[in-house]
Amino acid sequence: MAISRGGRYTLDNVVPACAACNTSKCNDEVTGWMRRKRLDERRFLERYVQIRASLLRDASLSPADEVAGAFAQVD
């Protein structure tokens, strides 16, 4: 549910979108917006699952793990 319609700022309620798409979506539900724009819902949902899993993994790291991970990525 859109924040403007009472939705919450939670990971489950956030839809990753560029500024143009977010503006176009306005306060519509994402699936209704996608159908109106004739976008590929399946592709979006697969990517959404990947992004959400990544964010959950990142959120579960402790600060020490984040530092160690940053150094591991630089090498």
pLDDT score, position 64: 52
pLDDT score, position 71: 45
- Extract the tokens encoding 68: 């160690």
How many CA atoms, within 13 angstroms, populate the side-chain half-sphere of residue 58?
A: 8
pLDDT score, position 62: 52
Nearest to 29 by CA among 54, 46, 6: 6
Residue of higher predicted confidence among 23 and 9: 23
Residues 48, 64: Cα–Cα separation, whole Å: 27
Predicted model pTM: 0.52
Tell me the per-residue pLDDT of 41-71, one tens digit each, with 9 for 90 and over: 889 888 888 888 888 887 775 555 544 444 4
